[in-house]
Amino acid sequence: MQVTATQAKNRFGAICAQAKTKPVFVEKDGRIDTVIVSAEQFEALQSAAQDKNLVQRKAQLEKTHRAWFAEQNSRFEANGLWCDDLRVW
């Protein structure tokens, strides 16, 4: 559904009810300015964006520090953990 900003202002309750079933595009100056979506749709969009962002950040971390990770892994394989000899009294 597409409405003008004035229609959205004048019929806000009805627009919110409509947004629960499908997005409502609000037009201002002949262009889509805002989209009204239900809280469930918004949470789904936000969750998807966070998941994507987390995957991208993990990939970037692995790419940036690949050499350091390899060095630490080889050190662990050769010597074990540094705290293996510590004893709890």
| Beta carbons of 2 and 25 less than 8 angstroms apart | yes
The β-bridge relationship of strands 31-36 and 2-4 is: unpaired
Token pair, residue 20, equals 């629960």
Is 26 in contact with 11 (CB distance < 8 Å)? no
Residue where the block lists tokens 């998941």: 51
| pLDDT tens-digit readout, 64-83 | 999 999 999 998 888 888 77
- Cα separation, 64 vs 2, in Å, equals 45
Summarised one tens digit per residue, pLDDT across range 7-47 is 999 999 999 999 999 999 999 999 999 999 999 999 999 88
The helix (H) or strand (E) run that includes residue 37 is: none
